[in-house]
Amino acid sequence: MKAYLVTKNEELPDISGLHVIKIPFADEDTLYVFDARLGYLEIKGREKIMEFIHRLKNEPQTSQ
């Protein structure tokens, strides 16, 4: 999975594997996720992004 966070905030979440792109004029935080299983996701808003990350951390891991 590849994940990119577009943000204008100085305070950045400490999430392993997350690439952060800081853009001063970004309207709101947006997370772009590219995953073979999930496909392409675009999640807008810090609250929704944190909910998504929380779900990923708590989801049981399956081996391929």
* Predicted local distance difference test score (pLDDT) of residue 61: 63
Mean pLDDT to the nearest integer, 50-56? 85
* Predicted local distance difference test score (pLDDT) of residue 30: 94
Bridge partner list, 7: 22
0.85 exceeded by the pTM? no
Q: Which residues, other chains included, contact 29 with Cβ-Cβ below 8 Å and sequence gap of 6+?
A: 5, 6, 7, 9, 44, 45, 46, 49
* Predicted local distance difference test score (pLDDT) of residue 29: 93
According to the per-residue pLDDT averaged within each range, which of 13-17, 40-44, 56-60 is highest? 40-44
Residue 40's pLDDT band (cuts 50, 70, 90): very high
